[in-house]
Amino acid sequence: MSNAWKNIKPDDYDAHMSHPNVAQIQMLSRIIKEQFELIPLERRSFSCAAILGITNGNGLEHVNPCGIGKVIGIDINSEFLNESRVRYPDVESKLELFQLDLMNDIFKTAEILSQCDLIIANLLIKHIHLNNFIKIISALPKHRQTVSCVIQVNPDGIAVSHSGFEHVFDEIAKLREEESEDLITQSMNENGFILTNRLLYDLPNGKLFIRLDYSAE
Ligand SMILES: C[S@@+](CC[C@H](N)C(=O)[O-])C[C@H]1O[C@@H](n2cnc3c(N)ncnc32)[C@H](O)[C@@H]1O
Cβ-based neighbour number of residue 19 at 10 Å: 18
Residue nearest to atom 14 of ligand 1 (CA): 53
CA distance 63 to 61: 6
Q: What is the chain's alpha carbon radius of gyration, rounded to the nearest angstrom?
A: 16
pLDDT value for 160:
63
**pTM, whole model, 2 decimals?**
0.96
The string of pLDDT tens digits covering residues 42-71 is 999 999 999 999 999 999 999 999 999 999
Atom of ligand 1 nearest to the CA of 103: 19
Atom of ligand 1 nearest to the CA of 75: 22
CA distance 9 to 13: 6
Q: Residue 139 is part of a domain; what is its CATH number? A: 3.40.50.150
CA distance 95 to 45: 14
CA distance 129 to 74: 16
Atom of ligand 1 nearest to the CA of 13: 9
Range of the domain at 11: 4-216
Pocket test for ligand 1, best of 29, 76, 83, 150 (most atoms within 8 A of CB): 76
| Contact call for residues 31 and 200 (beta carbons, < 8 A) | no
CA distance 94 to 169: 31
The string of pLDDT tens digits covering residues 96-119 is 999 999 999 999 999 999 999 999
CA 95 – ligand 1 centroid, Å: 17
Task: Characterise 121 by phi-psi region: left (phi > 0), alpha (psi -120 to 50), beta (else).
Answer: beta
pLDDT value for 14:
92
Helical spans, DSSP H, in 9-123: 10-17, 24-36, 63-66, 78-87, 106-113
Residue nearest to atom 27 of ligand 1 (CA): 55
- Ligand 1 first shell, C-beta below 6 A: 3, 5, 17, 25, 28, 53-55, 58, 75-77, 80, 101-103, 122-124, 127-128
What is the total count of domains within the chain? Answer: 1
Residue nearest to atom 8 of ligand 1 (CA): 58
Q: Render each residue's pLDDT in the chain as its tens digit; 217 residues.
A: 789 999 999 999 998 888 888 889 999 999 999 999 999 999 999 999 999 999 999 999 999 999 999 999 999 999 999 999 999 999 999 999 999 999 999 999 999 999 999 999 999 999 999 999 999 999 998 767 999 999 998 777 666 666 666 777 778 888 888 889 999 999 999 999 999 999 999 988 888 999 999 999 7
